[in-house]
Amino acid sequence: MPGESLRAFIHALPKAELHVHLVGSAGVDTVLALARRHPEAGVPADRAELEQFFEFRDFDHFLKVYWAVQSMLKDRRDIRALVIGLAAELARQNVRYAEVTVTPYNHLLDGMPGDELLTGLVEGRAVARAEHNVELAWCFDIPGEKGVRAGRETAVFALRERPDGLVGFGLGGPEIGVGRAQFEPFFTAAREAGLHSVPHAGETSGPATIWSAVHDLGAERIGHGTSCTADPALLAWLAEHRIPVEVCPTSNVRTRQVPSIAAHPVRRMLDHGLVVTLNTDDPPMFGATLEGEYLAVATSLGLRAAEVARLAKNAVAASFLEDAAKAAMAAEIDQVVASGTGAEA
C-alpha cells in the first residue's frame, strides 16, 4: 500500500487506544508550561532541552523522567488540562475511545488530594465527550515498586471512589524484583467488584511474569507482553485463551527493550494468532502517536489493508466498551474497508 493511501486508510479507521498513561500523555507544550511553574521538579522548560530530557537510556531512566513530570501535577486544573489535551489529540487522529491509566497512589504521595484528582478526571472526561466526541474510560493502576502498601491503597481508593468510567485495575512500574503475585489480594478485590484485570507484564522481564499475571492476577489483557514470544507454551496459551496483548512498539524501542520496530516480536505474535492491539503508552515522551504505531507496524510487516483493519478491530473487541458500542465501531471499520479508502492496497 503506497504511503499516502496507507496513511489515509489508517486515519479513516475509527480507533480505540487501550494502553495510554495519563501523565505520559501530557503534550510537550503542557509539560513546558508546567516546568516553568515548577522549576524545582528539574524538568527543562526549554523545548530543545526537553527533547533531550525525553531521550531514555533504559527503562529505569524513563521511569525517573516520568515521575519528575508527574510531580509537577498539583490539582484538578492540571489533571483536567491533561485529560482534555489527550482527548483533543485523540480526536485529531480519529481515535474515538481510550482506556487511560491513572496511578492515584503516586498523585496522593505527591500531595494531590484524592478529590482534586477525581474532580479533574470527571470534568476532563465530560469535556472530552462534549467537545471532542471522544469517550474515555479509566484504569487505576498500582505503582509496583511501592509494594503491597500501594496495592492496598490503590484498591481501597478505586473501590471506594469508583468514578464513572472506571473499568480497569492495573499494575505498572518496574518488573524486575517486583513479583506480580504479591498483588493478588488487591486484584481479587478489584475483580470481585467488577473491574477488569489489566496488569503490565513481560515489558521489562521474561515470560514468567506474564504467566504470573494470568495465574495470580487473572489478567484479561496483558500490558505489553513483549517477552511472550520467548516461551512457545505461553504463546500457544495466550492464543488459545484469546488474551489480548497491548503492544506498544515505539515505547519498547524508546526504553530500549527492543532494538527497532522491525525487530519487534509483534510479527511473531501475529504469526501465532495472538489478539494483538497497538497502543502508544506515553505518546509525547516517546514521540509516538497511535496513527504512527499503525503506520510503522503496517509498513514494517508489509500488512495489507484488511490486516491493518483487523488490528483496529482487535482493539475494539479487546476493549471494555459495551457490546452495542463495540458493534457500532466494528461496523464502521468494515465500512471504511468497503468504501475503498486506500483501495490500492
Residues recognised as catalytic: 203
Q: Which of residues 224-253 bind ligand HPA (CB under 6 A)?
A: 251
* Of residues 80, 83, 81, 56, the one with CA closest to residue 68: 56
For the record, the C-alpha cell of 175 comes out as 518488573
Single-letter residue type at 112: M
| Closest to Zn ion by CB, 281 or 291 | 281
24 binds ligand HPA (CB under 6 A): yes
Q: How far is the CB of 228 from Zn ion (least distance, A)?
A: 16
21 binds ligand HPA (CB under 6 A): yes
Judged by CB under 5 A, the stretch of 67-75, 279-287, 294-302, 312-320 that binds Zn ion is 279-287
Give the binding-site size for ligand HPA (rule: CB under 6 A): 10
Judged by CB under 5 A, the stretch of 40-48, 109-117, 184-192, 277-285 that binds Zn ion is 277-285
97 binds, among Zn ion, ligand HPA, none (CB under 5 to 8 A by kind): none
| Closest to ligand HPA by CB, 24 or 244 | 24
Alpha helix segments (H runs only) across 193-289 = 207-217, 232-240, 249-254, 266-271, 283-286
Place of cell 510503522: 296
Q: How far is the CB of 21 from ligand HPA (least distance, A)?
A: 4
Applying CB under 6 A, among 120, 173, 207, 265 the residue interacting with ligand HPA is: 173
281 binds Zn ion (CB under 5 A): yes
Residue 255 and residue 76: Cα distance in Å, rounded?
30
281 binds ligand HPA (CB under 6 A): yes
200 binds ligand HPA (CB under 6 A): yes
120 binds, among Zn ion, ligand HPA, none (CB under 5 to 8 A by kind): none
Residue 187 and residue 233: Cα distance in Å, rounded?
25
246 touches 223 (CB < 8 A): yes
Q: Which of residues 85-124 bind ligand HPA (CB under 6 A)?
A: none
Q: How far is the CB of 300 from ligand HPA (least distance, A)?
A: 21
Judged by CB under 5 A, the stretch of 149-157, 187-195, 204-212, 273-281 that binds Zn ion is 273-281
The DSSP string of 288-337 is: --HHHHHHHHHHHHT--HHHHHHHHHHHHHHS---HHHHHHHHHHHHHHH
Contacting residues for 246 by C-beta, under 8 A, at least 6 apart: 18, 19, 198, 221, 222, 223, 224, 225, 277, 279
| Closest to Zn ion by CB, 222 or 298 | 222
| Closest to ligand HPA by CB, 30 or 251 | 251
DSSP 113: -
288 touches 253 (CB < 8 A): no
Q: Is 117 left (phi over 0), alpha (psi -120 to 50) or beta?
A: alpha
Q: How far is the CB of 19 from Zn ion (least distance, A)?
A: 6
24 binds, among ligand HPA, Zn ion, none (CB under 5 to 8 A by kind): ligand HPA
Helix then strand count (H, E) for the chain reads 17, 9
137 touches 167 (CB < 8 A): yes
| Closest to Zn ion by CB, 30 or 101 | 101
Q: How far is the CB of 305 from ligand HPA (least distance, A)?
A: 29
Q: What are phi and psi of 249, to 5 degrees?
A: -60, -50
Residues that bind ligand HPA (CB under 6 A): 21, 24, 66, 172-173, 200, 203, 251, 281-282
Residues that bind Zn ion (CB under 5 A): 281
